[in-house]
Amino acid sequence: MQKNNKQNSEQGFKHWFIKKWSTEPIFSTGIALIVMIILQTWSLGFDYDSFGSWFFTWTNNWINILRNNAGVGLIALGMSFVIMSAGIDLSVGSTMVAVGAALMMLIDRGPNGILINLGIEGIPAILIAILVSLAFGYFLGNLNGILITRGGIPPFVVTLATMKLYRSVTQHFMQGYNPRVPLEFLPISNFQIGRFRMMPIIYWLLIAAVLYFMSKRTTFGRQIIAVGSNERSANLSGVNVKKVKRRVYAITGLLVSFAAIIQVSRIGSMDYANAGSGYEMEAIAAAVVGGTSMSGGRGTVIGTLLGVLIIAVMNNLLNLLGVPPFLREAFKGLILIGAVLMQKKQKTV
């Protein structure tokens, strides 16, 4: 034993590092992120003489990265819970478009605006529109959940179907209709704090904090892990498996509506054909890079946040380094494969 202890102290740090690296996905993902941030900082060109303006550029760059990814970040959080429950949700992008369209119809200042025709304007209209959008997103997610649990259809198939359904119906109804978003709606995302527009980041992180608490401390949060890890055991432990699954999809729908609200308030419009398309894959990639296991049972909120950041920072870095645009997606693919290979190693250790 004494010999062992001596060895341990000699290679203490190395040992600790290897152990952490090989057992905790968050640790390795975190290190990868730090390395990228260093590279990114370096490539922004650190200049000691004009520290002030350098710092502003650096911060601004970061605020931009985070703000641009707040929407996908929220969706990725929902996605990671779905994957933790051993499911998948391909419909998130289409749900976002559907909720966005509903939101814009409600707040439209033009002759067809729903709330304005009911005589509701200004702040009350905005509040009502937000609440209705959230409820609508929850409803669409819940619909996925009901088809999966009651209908007994695999999640991949259900959400592939609703992915097509939600977007197609939205596009049909919104043909030739260009709602005008009232100016009072835009500050939701564009309100400036100091010199920075960082509202979406604040929503994202606040919601992440709530979800973190939910995943660690609530019955529902822990039951998600139980259901994803071993559905039979969970069922025989009195967990209402169907209810847990349904609620996971519903909550994802809710998070998607937050993303839709941010999107609409940021730019005041929405492209129904393209907005949110590919978000499902971005979200899955972020969740997986963050250590969520595709077979369910494993994953964390913090891991998913790191996963979103890694992909975002890498995009930014490739941009700064001048990597040709068509090649950038290849790097995303490589990162994804690297992350999964690492997790596979971690599982066997």
Partner 1 sequence: MKIEIKNIDKAFGAIEAVKDVSFSVSGGEVCALIGENGAGKSTLMNILGGVLPADRGEILIDGQQVNFQKPADSLNAGIAFIHQELNLINDLPIYENMFIGRELKKKGRILDLEKMIARTKEVFDQMEIDLDPKTMVRDLDTSYKQIVEISRAIMMDASIIIMDEPTTSLTDQEIERVFEMMKTLKKQNVGIVFISHKLNEVIEFCDRYSVLRNGELVAEGMVSEVNVDQLARAMVGHELRTESLQRKTESGREVLRAENLSYNNDFKNISFSVHQGEILGVTGLLGDGRQELFQAIFGSGQIEAGELYLNDQQVEIKNTTDALQKGIGYLPRDRKENGIIKDMDIFENASIVTWPLFDNFGIIDREKQEQEFKEQVERLRIKMGAKNDSINSLSGGNQQKIVLAKWLIANPEIFILDNPTQGVDVGAKEDIYDIILELAAEGIAVVILSSEAKEIIRICDRALVMYHGVIQGELSQAEMSEHEIMRLATGASLNSVQEGAEDAEK
Q: Is 236 in the site for partner 1 (CB under 8 A)?
A: yes
Buried b (16+ CB within 10 A) or exposed e, 110-124: eeebbbbeeebeeee
Q: Is 232 in the site for partner 1 (CB under 8 A)?
A: yes
User: 88 in helix, strand or coil?
Assistant: coil
Question: With contact defined as beta carbons under 8 Å apart, do 299 and 292 qualify?
Answer: yes
- Of 171, 240, 269, 277, the residue at the interface with partner 1 (CB under 8 A) is 240
Report the first-to-last Cα separation within the chain, whole angstroms: 23
Alpha-carbon distances of 269 from 97, 104, 179, 210, rounded to whole Å: 11, 8, 8, 29
Q: Is 132 in the site for partner 1 (CB under 8 A)?
A: no
Q: Is 270 in the site for partner 1 (CB under 8 A)?
A: no
Q: Is 148 in the site for partner 1 (CB under 8 A)?
A: no
Select from 96-104, 141-149, 223-231, 272-280 the region that touches partner 1 (CB under 8 A). 223-231
Neighbours of 220 (CB within 10 A): 15
Question: With contact defined as beta carbons under 8 Å apart, do 81 and 89 qualify?
Answer: no
Alpha-carbon distances of 307 from 12, 78, 256, rounded to whole Å: 29, 13, 18
How far, in Å, CA of 34 to CA of 112, rounded? 50
- Of 239, 254, 289, 318, the residue at the interface with partner 1 (CB under 8 A) is 239
How far, in Å, CA of 96 to CA of 306, rounded? 23
Site string for partner 1, 44-73 (x = CB under 8 A): ------------------------------
Q: Is 243 in the site for partner 1 (CB under 8 A)?
A: yes
- Of 7, 59, 192, 237, the residue at the interface with partner 1 (CB under 8 A) is 237
Select from 178-186, 228-236, 283-291, 325-333 the region that touches partner 1 (CB under 8 A). 228-236
Select from 174-182, 239-247, 301-309, 320-328 the region that touches partner 1 (CB under 8 A). 239-247
Q: Is 297 in the site for partner 1 (CB under 8 A)?
A: yes
Q: Is 223 in the site for partner 1 (CB under 8 A)?
A: yes
Minimum CB distance to partner 1, residue 298 (Å): 6
Q: Is 22 in the site for partner 1 (CB under 8 A)?
A: no
- Of 155, 298, 308, 318, the residue at the interface with partner 1 (CB under 8 A) is 298
How far, in Å, CA of 76 to CA of 310, rounded? 13
Select from 53-61, 234-242, 271-279, 309-317 the region that touches partner 1 (CB under 8 A). 234-242
Q: Is 234 in the site for partner 1 (CB under 8 A)?
A: yes
**Residue 340 identity (one-letter amino acid):** V
- Closer to partner 1 by CB, 23 or 60: give it: 23
How far, in Å, CA of 294 to CA of 284, rounded? 9
Minimum CB distance to partner 1, residue 217 (Å): 6
119: region left, alpha or beta (phi > 0 left; psi from -120 to 50 alpha): left
Site string for partner 1, 201-220 (x = CB under 8 A): ----------------xxxx
| Short-list 81, 84, 82, 78, CA closest to 96 | 78
User: 197 in helix, strand or coil?
Assistant: strand
Question: With contact defined as beta carbons under 8 Å apart, do 37 and 59 qualify?
Answer: no
Question: With contact defined as beta carbons under 8 Å apart, do 265 and 67 qualify?
Answer: no
Q: Is 20 in the site for partner 1 (CB under 8 A)?
A: no
- Of 106, 225, 250, 261, the residue at the interface with partner 1 (CB under 8 A) is 225
Minimum CB distance to partner 1, residue 293 (Å): 8
Residues that bind partner 1 (CB under 8 A): 1, 217-220, 222-223, 225-226, 228-230, 232-240, 242-243, 297-298
